[in-house]
Structures are given as C-alpha cells and as structure tokens.
Amino acid sequence: MELRDYQKQGVKFLQERKYALLADDVGLGKSAQCLHAIYRYGVHGVLIICPATVKECWKNQIKLWMDEKDEWLTEIVQNSGHKFDVCSRFTIVNYELINRKDRVLFKKLMNMRFSTIICDEAHKLKNVATKRTRRILDPRGLISRTDKLWFVTGTPIKNRPIDLYSLISSTVPELIKPYDTYLKFAYQYCAAFEGKYCLDVSGASNEQELADRIAPFMLRREQHEVLKELPEALVDTIELECTPEAKKIIQEEEERTVELAGERDIELFTLGETARIRQALAKYKIKESLPFITDLMEETNKIVIFYHHTSVLKALLKSLSKMNPVYINGTIPAAKRLGIVEQFNTDPRCRVFIGQMQACGEGLDGLQHSSHTCVFVEPSWSPTDITQCIGRLKRFGQTYMVSVYILVIKATLEATMMGTAKWKQKVMNKIITKTDKEKQMYLEERIEKLEEATLGLAASIKTLVKALTSGGQAEPDAEAEAAPKKTAAKNTAKKTEGRKTNAPAAKRVEPIEEDVEVTLDMARALAGDICVKYPKGVGKKRCIAIVAANGGTKLDTLEGEGLQKCHDQFVEILEGDDSDV
C-alpha cells in the first residue's frame, strides 16, 4: 500500500525526532505514518501503549503496512500476568495494565529496552499527577527505556493549553524555556490566576507564541487541508474482546444455528437464522462497544450510531445520556424525522444520533451537515444495507472524509462475515466515487439541462423585449416555443445514438416519494426478531396471525396501509417486556 504525500511528510517528521507529537485529525492514518517511520528506522523492539479497544486495530495495521517477507512478531498483552516473548518486535499493551497497583507488568517492561515507544491517544497523559502519566513520562519511568518516544492523538488539546504541559515538559522542555515549570507555563500560556480554592489554569493566553514554540515538536494536519488526497469514505472493522463466559454462550447459539441451517453457507442464512445470532450478540455487544464509542467521542464532535435491536437502543440511550442523544426507529413518523435531524445538527449539546438501520437506510437527509463519523454497533450482514446507511453521511454537502467503524466481537460468525479484507473492499467499492464513465454521463446530463434552461431563458427574454417595445403583449415567439423541442430532440438523438433503430421508446419514470413510512424489509426484520424472542414456533404463529388479520397470506403480499398496520403491531410486540432478550 502506498502512503499519501502528507503521510510521507509525517514519516519524515517522525524519523528526524527522538520525541514527537503526531496530532493529525481523525482518519488521516496516524498509525500508518508511525509504522512506516519505524520500518525505515529499524525495528528491534517497539512498545505500543493504547486504549484496550484499539489493541487489535494496531495488530491489524501492522499486518497491513509491514513488509510481508519479514516475520513481524506481534504480541498483545492481555493481563498483568501475561507471559510474552521479550523478543517481540511489537508489544501492544493498554494504559490500564501499566496503571495496575501490582506493578507486575510495569516492572517487566522496565526490565526491557525498546527502540521506540508509541503512546496512542496521548491526550490520556495530560494530567501530570496521575499514576499513568508518571509511570510513562517520569524520568525513572518507561521514557528511560526507549530510544524514541512518539505521541499520537487527534486531540492534543482536549480543553485548554495546560493539557500539553505534561508531554512537552517531559520530552522537549527546552522549547518552552523559561516557562518550563508548571506555574510559569500556567501563567504564561493559560492565563492562570488564584481561584477561590486553587490555581485556575482553565484559560488561554499567548496562544500564537506557544504554537510557534512547539512547532518543531508537534505536527498537525486537519482533513480540510488534505481533502484532495483522501478517499470519500474509509471503512474499518474493529474487533472487540468479550468475556469467556459470554463468548461461550454466543458460540453455543452459533453452533445451534449452523446445525439447524444444515449444509448451507453462512452467507445464505435466512433472516430468522441471522436474527438468532444477532440476538445472541446484542446482549453483550453494548458493554464491549461503549469504551470504543467514548474514546472516539474524544476525537470527534458528533457521531452517528447504527443499531438493530430495541434492547440495544435502550442501552445506548441510557449509557450515552450525557451526550444528549436523539434517535430514529421505525416507530417515529416521517413528519417528525426532519425535526430530530435538525436538533442533532443545531444543538451543540446533542452529540449522538442513534438510527435503526432499517428505518434510516433510505430517505434520510441532513446528517452530513454536522457529522462525518459513524459506528455500526450491530452491522447488517448485507453490504447493501451498510452502504445505504453510510450514504446518510457520504452525500452532497459533506465536506470531510467519512470515517466508518464496524464493531464485531472477535472470533464469532459476525466477525467472519465482516472482518475479511474482501468484505472491506466489497463495501468500499460500493461507497467510493463513481466510475469515470458514470461521472461523464452525469456531467453530460447536467450540461444538457443547462443548455435547455439557457435556450428557454433566451427565448423568454426575447419575447419580453418584443412585448415592451410593441407597447403590449407580444404574440408567442415561434423560436421560444421551439427551444424546448429542439433540446428534447437533441437529447433523444444522443440517447438513441449507437442503439438499434427498432428499440422501444423509453417511458418516463415518475420520481418515488421519499416519505414512505414502512418497507417490506423493515417488516421482515421485525418478524425475524419476534421469531427469536418467542422460539418453538410461538413467534412465527403470532406473525402469521397478524399478517392474516391485515388481509395477507404472506408478508410480501401486503402493501400500503396493510403493511403499515402489520409493522406497527410487530413493534408493539417487540417493545413489550423484553427482559428475556
């Protein structure tokens, strides 16, 4: 894989420095720049310290960017007693393990020597007084066991300039002299003053001076600066860990489903079979997903979360209540949806939009104006469904690259379906820019419409001039009447060019209204949930009875009001007491 130009500049920036802060905006490939800088520098032991939720991501990035002919041994440390190979070229550990009271892992790392230490999400080291920061940045901490130390974060300043002090003072204090002590830094760059109880360092002062001083240490590029080099969307599958007890329950349900499915491939599972597995995952997915979502919220202002089950929605609303979330599901009338999107766009306190995939996959516009990041807590197994939801952000009006995160629990059927490079490429091919041929056709169509409008306007002006000069109403101008006909004839000639002369004339297709309340797929998804919620045929019988009561023999025989009523009754069943889910 090739680095982009701005990434090559980042690699050079890191290689030339013992201490550096790579503060590129979210989605600009900071890990790739670090790995390339390490690769060229020479690896004899690299320690990556990061949040627990992204340890697997780092391992995948190493596989993706490192040369395949080299045997890159990567070790993920899972607990403080983990016995890992000291010869590992890459050792990945999360902050919490270094912070443990028993100091077991910390002591082991202190007995090792590293060529490079990378601190991902380095804003977690902003507080000089925490145990985590001291064990890494204290002169007697891990900083003393490495040749190079690089910090990586998309938000170097979370709230105020004082957040930078711990990183600068521990690595490049000479850049801020004579303000290299905490108090001097606070008074010079944080407008510090003696508050009622303590020194208030929540302000900012001399910002440009500070920026100029730390320029040799920090490199930051925002998306709008390098937008021309970015794809329209970047899709990443995030593998989450799960407790052994939960994993056992999930695997038992998967095995039961596979057994019932017989010899069919998992890609050909029916709706009910996939719903059974997704229902088993739903109970445990939230607990594992929330740490990733909260970490992501530190790097971006507003995010969109897609889900499937009602129980997941309830858990998200409760857990993210401080972010003032809003949501849209199948029960929200179309007339109210625009107001919910508007609230998400205009209310700075509302940072999370939660959308049910079936309800938000089509006909929803406006999210692109305030967010460029989406998370699939419960992804569909269909690439088309994923693409439709991503299309809520990747559309006209979006000014950033769209970052997409698909969350799966590691070593499950869901991960198998989502985690392969083939899957990622399949999704990417559906959401990136149109082909050159399609672009050309679109451009020609726009030009034709512009020509038609221009001819019509010119003819209207000519008619108006005649009317004014004659002192009354002019007779319809023959050229004005002919202009649209000429354009239409021209368009017809272009469209039929190269076709057989006996081809039937194209029929005009009327636009479909976008305020359709319910689709067949939405109703099917709810029926699948009911079958899982009430097993042994109970749920199936209830669904059949509801369909029959609304005048249908099968679900796909219903439409219009009948389908709407059927959908609403399905929702009532699912939104009842779901404590057994």
Confidence of residue 507 (pLDDT cuts 50, 70, 90): very low
377-435 pLDDT, tens digit per residue, is 988 777 778 888 888 998 878 888 899 999 888 777 677 766 544 555 555 555 554 44
pLDDT at residue 214 tops 90:
yes
If you compute the radius of gyration of the chain from its CA atoms, what whole number of angstroms results?
A: 29
Residue that is written with structure tokens 């991503």 in the block: 390
E strands within 44-165? 46-50, 74-76, 90-94, 114-120, 146-152
Tens-digit pLDDT profile for residues 75-119: 888 887 777 665 668 889 999 899 888 888 899 899 988 999 999
Q: What is the pLDDT of residue 508?
A: 34
Q: How many CA atoms lie within 13 A of 214 on its CB side?
A: 27
Which tens digits make up the pLDDT trace of 290-336?
999 998 988 889 999 999 888 889 999 999 999 999 999 888 887 78
Q: What does the alpha-carbon distance between residue 122 and residue 158 come to, in Å, rounded to a whole number?
A: 11
pLDDT band at 261 (very low <50, low <70, confident <90, very high): low
What six digits make up the tokens of 15? 């290689």
Q: What is the pLDDT of residue 298?
A: 86
* Alpha-carbon 204 to chain mean position: 32
| CA separation for the pair 570, 581 (Å, rounded) | 16
Q: At a CB cut-off of 8 Å and minimum separation 6, what does 386 contact?
A: 376, 379, 380, 406, 427
3 state DSSP class of 20: strand
Kindly report, residue by residue over 14-56, the tens digit of the pLDDT.
999 999 999 998 888 899 999 989 876 555 689 999 988 888 8
Check pLDDT > 60 for residue 473: no
- Tell me the DSSP string of 459-489: HHHHHHHHHHHHTSPPPPPHHHHHHHHHHHH
Q: Beta 303-307 vs 373-376: how paired, if at all?
A: parallel
**What pLDDT does 158 receive?**
75
Residues 6+ positions from 267 with CB-CB distance below 8 Å: 381, 417
Q: Give 26's DSSP letter.
A: T
The confidence score (pLDDT) of residue 493 equals: 45
Q: Which residue has the tokens 């401080």?
A: 322
Q: How does the average pLDDT of the chain come out, rounded?
A: 78
Q: Which residues touch 460 (CB under 8 Å, ≥6 apart)?
A: 480
Q: Locate tokens 């009271």: which residue?
A: 101
Lowest-pLDDT range, 272-276, 465-469, 513-517? 513-517
pLDDT above 60 (res 483): no
| Tens-place pLDDT, residues 556-569 | 788 888 888 888 88
SS3 for 166? helix
Dihedrals phi, psi of 262, to nearest 5 degrees: 75, -135
What three-state secondary structure class fits 193?
strand
**pLDDT exceeds cutoff 80 at 250:** no
pLDDT at res. 431: 54
Which residues, in sequence order, are bridge partners of residue 219? 22
Does residue 269 have a pLDDT over 80? no
What pLDDT shows up at residue 208?
Answer: 92
> Buried b vs exposed e over 26-60: b needs ≥16 C-beta within 10 Å?
bbbbbbbbbbbbbbebebebbbbbbbbbbbbbbbb
In whole angstroms, give the CA distance from residue 94 to residue 110.
15
Instruction: Report yes or no: 408 and 379 within 8 Å, Cβ to Cβ.
Output: yes
Q: Which of 242-246, 253-257, 333-337 has the lowest mean pLDDT?
A: 253-257
